[in-house]
């Protein structure tokens, strides 16, 4: 379960980790959303070395939730996803 906080609200986002990558020079994980999540899809976060650099790859495949009120909020949720991604990259620096 992921808990996102926005505008003073906590939003519960049920997820299931589907893959874990742990090799020499590469580590990460992927998860899929479960019913009740604001969007439908999957996301992966992989850190790997490229020479002396550390590279973060974020792959996100999402679409509006299949049902519920969140479906209508998808355009705003998409903006929130992009903001979260910006924060991930900032934290990596």
Rounded Cα gap, residues 10 and 8, in angstroms: 7
Three-class DSSP category at 38? coil
Domains and CATH numbers, the chain: 2-92 (3.10.450)
Q: What is the pLDDT of residues 15-63, one digit of tens each?
A: 999 999 999 999 999 999 999 888 999 999 999 998 898 888 999 999 9
Rounded Cα gap, residues 56 and 49, in angstroms: 9
Rounded Cα gap, residues 37 and 1, in angstroms: 9
User: Using an 8 Å Cβ cutoff, are 45 and 56 in contact?
Assistant: yes
Write down the pTM of the prediction. 0.80
């Amino acid at each position: 379960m992921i808990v996102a906080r926005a505008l003073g609200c906590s939003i519960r986002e049920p997820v299931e980790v589907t893959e874990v990558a742990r090799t020499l020079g590469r580590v990460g994980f992927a998860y899929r959303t479960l019913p009740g999540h604001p969007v439908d899809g999957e996301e992966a976060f992989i850190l790997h070395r490229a020479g002396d650099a550390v590279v973060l790859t974020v792959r996100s495949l999402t679409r509006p939730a299949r049902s519920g009120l969140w479906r209508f909020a998808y355009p705003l949720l998409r903006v929130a996803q992009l903001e979260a991604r910006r924060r991930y990259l900032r934290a990596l620096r």
